[in-house]
Amino acid sequence: MGKLENKIAVITGSGRGIGRATAELFVKEGCIVIAVSRTEKELKELEEKTKNKEGKIFPFKADITMKEDVDKIFDFVENEFKKLDILINNAGVAPSGSIFDMDSEKFLYCLKLNIWSAFLCTQRAVRIMAKQNKGKIINVGSVCSHWTGTGNAGAYAASKYGLKGFTEAVMREMQNRNLNISVGMVCPGLVDTTLTNPEREIKGNWLQPETIAQALIFAVTNPEDVNVYDMIIFPNWQKVW
């Protein structure tokens, strides 16, 4: 029996990269995954690839910077499954640029996707999870949730530090309300994905998305009353601060 048999999970940004590897691993462990991204073709490929596994992919094309799209995802979950066990807030962008000439719209969009969309998904998720009095929410942060890296990615660091603050606040609120809902983060260093390596050059010593997927499965398969709060994962060579 898989570790996630009969579990329902929403994973944002699961068309490629970390979200995709996580969706594949979750399905292998018996999970029903609502796989969210904007590129239908990638979601279809994921669905096809995981066809004969224990669990199942429900591809869900949505732009999570649009509140109405987020509502459609969680309306679907409520109507179809009547419960939600896991939310992985993974979709994100990582614009870099100096403070002297950073495009202000890019900065704003980074905050919008990396924090506000996580808020929208979390709000809908906790409303479902509170009724069940259980659930696991993991936000994919970054080493930049803890350190600002080389200094040329202010938008990204601001968004990922912000996501850390949001994670802590929601975790505390669940405790204050005596709700058995775990809220935490997984914070990767350099992972070889199209986000960081769009040209798909060989990056032998970077983390693989599957390593982060393993961390995510660990975070959500602990007992219901255990909170895995923050896992920071980077390759030994990466000087993160």
Contacts with ligand NAP by CB under 6 A lie at 12-13, 15-19, 36-39, 42, 62-65, 90-92, 94, 113, 140, 142, 188, 190-191, 193-196
| Residues near 197 by beta carbon (within 8 Å), at least 6 away in sequence | 203, 206
Q: Which is nearer to ligand NAP, 39 or 123 (CB)?
A: 39
Alpha-carbon gap, residue 233 to 169, rounded angstroms = 22
AA identity, residue 72: K
Helix-then-strand count for the chain, H and E:
7, 7
Shortest separation between residue 241's beta carbon and ligand NAP, angstroms: 14
Of 109, 156, 161, 229, catalytic: 156
Q: How far apart are CA 97 and CA 107, in angstroms?
A: 9
Half-sphere exposure of 71 (CA within 13 A, CB side): 3
- The nearest distance, CB 142 to ligand NAP, in angstroms, is 4
| Residues recorded for the chain | 241
Cβ at position 92, least distance to ligand NAP in Å: 2
CB of 19 to ligand NAP, least distance (A): 5
Please report how close the Cβ of residue 176 comes to ligand NAP at its closest, in angstroms.
27
Strands of 56-61's sheet in order across: 56-61, 32-37, 8-12, 86-89, 135-140, 181-188, 230-233
Q: What is the DSSP letter of 218?
A: H
Residue 156 annotated as catalytic: yes
How far does CA 30 lie from the centroid of its chain? 19
Decide whether 130 or 168 has the Cβ nearer to ligand NAP: 168
CB nearer to ligand NAP: give 133 or 194. 194
Q: Which is nearer to ligand NAP, 42 or 85 (CB)?
A: 42
Q: CA–CA separation, 166 vs 149, rounded Å? A: 20
**221: exposed, middle or buried (C-beta count within 10 Å: 0-12, 13-18, 19+)?**
middle
Residue 176 or 236: the one with the smaller Cβ distance to ligand NAP is 236
Exposed, middle or buried, 141 (CB in 10 Å: 0-12/13-18/19+)? buried
Q: Are 159 and 119 in contact (CB under 8 A)?
A: no
Residues annotated as catalytic (active site), given as ranges: 156
